[in-house]
Structure 1
Amino acid sequence: MRRMRKLFGALAAALALAGCSSSLQPVDPAPAGAVQQPQPAGVGGGEPSDTASTSSCDPNAISLRPSGSLPAPGQFPAGSRLKKIHDRGYLRAGIDQNTYLFGFRNLTTNQMEGFDIDRVREIAKAIFGDPDKVQFKVITSKEREAALAGDEVDVVARTYSVTCARAKIVDFSAVYYTAGQRVLVDRRSKATSLDDLAGKKVCAASGSTSIKKLTGYPSKPVPVSVPTYADCLIMLQQGQVDAVSTDDTILAGMVKQDPNLKMVGKQITEEPYGIGIKKGDDNFVRFVNGVLQQSISSGAWQASYNKWLRGTGEEQPVPTLRYRD
């Protein structure tokens, strides 16, 4: 036993001396170097503008006037889209869950909230008498038209700018809010507008009017497109892009989330928001416009605005809904 202890002691001493030897090298040393930040999936470049085909209408007066007073919940004609939605038991709404203030998931309650979400719940209440009878479907900006055309959703309320080109594919409600494209940068940036970002990477969502505006902008920024504005925010925070440019309403939500950012410059576009509806159902369009009109006249629109948007930028007046008929 004493001999075994001596043997183990000799082995331990040998190992200790080997560990102190300067001739030993680390196993498979990792080379030091710059670590590139991971990018979100689907990063792309600029997208061509569709403004060449948008001279045929007034986006602010493109929709249909409500047909009298709203019917009572559930009192809809047989065979109508409203009747089918009611019989299904819930409204299907295409929304965003990453645009703070307009459409986002409250991580405390796990509920969808925001200015656009309020508009969806008003439609559900008018159909069912219950604002919670909604099935939310999260979609990207680029998926909005396809979701409506493919009958995946009944409405899209997702900071959806009304354009004449889009109106050839889907129908829109009357304009219920008007935003404008601006620029978001780090607070340390000296840029004061998009004119100061020549050759700089500027992020916007794929399929949005914002990325199309960036593509042809005179100062020639470098457009970077991503699926969602949450991706833009992260890329700006990580220094992968120099700025984000989109509607001031969306940028205001980012500033609320990160006070190290600031909005700069004046509005370079007018973005009239409407609720998207599958093409060809005039009665449903008129119904949705009736819901919007009721929201405005009852003060619900103003209460929603005060809750989510007051103080985030230029004051927005209560909209006067306009129609083409």
Structure 2
Amino acid sequence: MGKIETHRFPCGTCGSDLRFAPGERLLRCDHCGATEPMPAASPWDRSAVAELDLRSAVEDTLPEAQMEETRVVQCSSCGAQVEFDPNEHAAECPFCATPIVTDTGINRHIKPRGILPFDIDQTGGRDAMRKWMRGLWFAPNALKKYARSDQKLQGIYLPYWTFDAQSQTEYRGQRGTRYSRTVGSGKNRRTVSEIRWRRKSGRISHFFNDVLVTGSRTLPDDQVRKVSHFDLAVLEPYRPQFLAGFRAEAYSIDVMEAKNLAHALMEEETRQLIKRDIGGDAQRIDDMRMALSEMTYKHILVPVWIAAYRFRGKSYRFVVNARTGAVAGERPWSPVKIAFAVILGLIAAAVIAYFTQR
């Protein structure tokens, strides 16, 4: 049985818990203000970001050192599995603001290999969220009030997978060349554009590096797309100090399912590479056979700030990329403001029509 990971680090001055300070690469005590530097990464830590063999993960034969156990609670409303401190007895789900009792269970999973630490602090995350909210049309006044409040954001590390693979793809297709010709006669004479097709075949060799796949089902796909731009070239070796004061969501998409999603992304990118290879003004792909080899993976954690807001019994969520400041979210609409805008529009149309007729 592997050990249960904890992310609590006591302050050497007062004994309170230290918290990782975004953008400062140190641990800070919120109680007394004392700081402690992050321990330097060892050469072994640096090599820990290296890719892992996918076959061992798929066949569930990973060595014990690559596994970990964490205490998590699953939200009954949105299904998120989030790590919680065993000393907590009640909390609020950071993804949907649903009150939950921390009936803590143990989750055994593949240990993160790399991590992108928080770079934007809570103030920066709140500023990004407020700016996004100010741009919302027809939002209810309660949402505007929420934007002006000092509502605390939750710092969460989201689970992701990255995949590398060498691909060899043979294809058959057609290359289209546009040309113009004149048809008809007299008044019906006109120029039309047509495409002349000729067959093309070839072979594409391409190495895929760090194809990113979410490991979470909690966030909607459109939100994931908006906040999933991360510079993976600066991944840090995973160290629990980066999680001090933050929570991490356990992955609900396992490595096998993530591999299939990555395969689909690679296939789509290969289609674009084939079209570029075919050239011409238009392209058709009649057949393609992609073979992948040397496929490797990493499990990584990436940082976001999350705020959940309940309005008229429904939960709304705002997510801020804690590296770039990109914001994605759900928003309520104000029926009163929309109705008022429609009435004003009808009045304006009636006035315009009246003076037009005069």
TM-score by length of 1: 0.22
TM-score by length of 2: 0.21
Choose between structure 1 and 2: higher strand proportion. 2
- Normalized per residue, which structure has more helix? 1
